[in-house]
Structure 1
């Protein structure tokens, strides 16, 4: 079977395969935590409570109808309340079921939620430029590090954009969603990976709709340098790696 045929098979439903496998969950192995641990001495930033009062376009029909991929942004800063809302809309926790699972604002196969949200902040009021991670359980930001020449670093990580070169570094913030595959593999074994790819689509679509409700511009990024972006976020590239990105800013 050639490579294209193999990839097409990957698209298809695979529950029959799962029936033949004893997963780690079935073996009684504890599930991984739904949020990465962090040093208790880390620099944490409180995020404002999410409020519908910040919405510019509260009608979901308008948001769906007007949604487009926007690659040109103004120099105007976005504020922390708006960023708080966007983070909640894409990975916010609504109900904690137990220490291994939680219901969120996006669906996920088996409630496994295998993603972490990293932010490359470039133009957010009250935040210095650099790399952050969202802590959905606490609804806080964890500051990771500053970046020297942040625009150049972003451009290196997102080369060869087909429509507008270098547009990502002009955005206010870059969302970089990492994947921790074992969160899903624990429950679904070798059938997990298609589900992970489906789930990340839900996350980015929520960002599009939430951004439109603020009259922001968003663009998903499928072309990026895997090694550069993983190194930028201090990921090992095997047990955790970036799976999708998007950037946003205020529309021109």
Structure 2
């Protein structure tokens, strides 16, 4: 397949004299053809009986890029004109299965851009749209394989850009016709072009398109469209490089506080029913300074929500845990760091709860770094005074990412939601004040703890304290929307 295009008013890439651009194809990256079987990074496909011409064409595709004219000539040389139709039908099947990738070669013979499958989807080329085109505002660029890859959220395809194509990107930020038609075809096939045209009314854009931030949409689509990712679920893609992390973090060398173990039978006798706790649950943004939360109450809440009740080894060799709350794959990556400002029986400071030993480990004494975390929690809930305790919820990311691909981070966020509800219900049953936050600052957490934020970082926060004797009016809906991390 050969196509010609010239960039009006510009020199072609690589300062070539000609304006001819060629569309070529080859087996998907890393693909091989041998003994009637095509093998790519997505697996193997057996083709069965094929003609000598088709076999020669597939060997040629396995060696590198070929244009359609050369491939057709190769097929005809082996099978005659009658074999050409059978080859084209086979080629369509290969594209539908995502076994071929396509490239645009510039006038100098160097690849300008390449359409590659990065998930599981067809690479059948779409026609170039008529008239001006521009990039979708949701399309994102990222480094890949020594080049830049342009992707649309949810698409199983990416367009890898050479230097010449990358130089054309500024043109594509507005409606333009100054882009080679073969490159436009690659972009259209990858879903990276905006709908409509220069005369379309921006106000007429559908709500579903307008309301999504590009990064949010990319995250949502990648984790909820399995075909858009190379691997999905428990793939253990890094297991050959790293071993699994232990279910409980190693004990620290600093001071520890042994916590009292609550009597669960006595608690069960006096507790609210589940229905009562659910119906009474509310976010309380005030604490009773005259009767603060006690160490025994904090110990009971942690014991009832996040302690490790037992451990076991999974079939994959990973150490797993049983806790009062569920966790995907029983990995239980969440850690709780109580940031204490005013708790009877416990000195102020930042602690880590050791769920396997039911202890608190002092991580940091009060100081500027912990004060920043307290200030953020206070602002997020619009409390008049400092919260008595902030439960900083952190994730040891490797616990989940050792096993899961693509769904690892959204799985962590699901676990945070489960933890929030568990803490809310237990705190309600205990008569405590609790309020979950909608956002936080993992950078401030890293500064206070010294933890590597790529290994362990905060993914949630709740404020906890004694419930005031008299109900406190909740902020209005209008005022509650003001802080960036407003309480839930």
TM-score by length of 1: 0.86
CA 155–121 in structure 1, closer or farther in 2 if over 3 Å, else same: closer
1:147–1:153 contact (8 Å) kept in structure 2: no
1:205 paired to 2:433: no
1:118–1:132 contact (8 Å) kept in structure 2: yes
More displaced 10-residue stretch of structure 1: 112-121 or 1-10: 1-10
1:42 paired to 2:257: no
Please show how residues 142-161 of structure 1 align to structure 2 within 5 Å: 142-148=361-367, 152-158=371-377, 160-161=379-380
Equivalents in 2 of 1:143, 1:20: separation in Å?
A: 35
1:179–1:240 contact (8 Å) kept in structure 2: yes
1:177 paired to 2:393: yes
TM-score by length of 2: 0.47
- Corresponding residue SS for 1:201: helix
2:378–2:386 contact (8 Å) kept in structure 1: no
User: What residue in structure 1 maps to residue 298 of structure 2?
Assistant: 83
User: What residue in structure 2 maps to residue 73 of structure 1?
Assistant: 287
Residues 118-146 of structure 1: per-residue CA shift (max 9 Å, x gap): 11012222110001100111111111221
Higher relative contact order (CA 8 A, sep 6+): 1
Equivalents in 2 of 1:214, 1:22: separation in Å?
A: 41
Equivalent in 399, 402, 409 of residue 193 of structure 1: 409
Structure 2: stretches of 5+ with no match in the other structure: 1-135, 139-213, 469-488
Residues 64-118 of structure 1: per-residue CA shift (max 9 Å, x gap): 1000111011112222222112112331111211482211111111111111111
User: What residue in structure 1 maps to residue 342 of structure 2?
Assistant: 123
1:234 paired to 2:450: yes
> May I ask how many residue pairs the two structures share in their alignment?
247
User: What residue in structure 2 maps to residue 138 of structure 1?
Assistant: 357
Q: Which structure has the greater CA radius of gyration?
A: 2
1:220–1:246 contact (8 Å) kept in structure 2: yes
1:57–1:215 contact (8 Å) kept in structure 2: no
CA 230–195 in structure 1, closer or farther in 2 if over 3 Å, else same: same
Equivalent in 12, 28, 34 of residue 224 of structure 2: 12
Equivalents in 2 of 1:61, 1:42: separation in Å?
A: 41
- Deviation of 1:165 after TM superposition, in Å, equals 2.3
- Deviation of 1:231 after TM superposition, in Å, equals 1.2
- Corresponding residue SS for 1:158: helix
Equivalents in 2 of 1:120, 1:186: separation in Å?
A: 29
Equivalents in 1 of 2:451, 2:355: separation in Å?
A: 19
User: What residue in structure 1 maps to residue 309 of structure 2?
Assistant: 94
1:159–1:225 contact (8 Å) kept in structure 2: no
- Deviation of 1:183 after TM superposition, in Å, equals 0.6
- Deviation of 1:174 after TM superposition, in Å, equals 0.8
User: What residue in structure 1 maps to residue 322 of structure 2?
Assistant: 103
2:339–2:350 contact (8 Å) kept in structure 1: yes
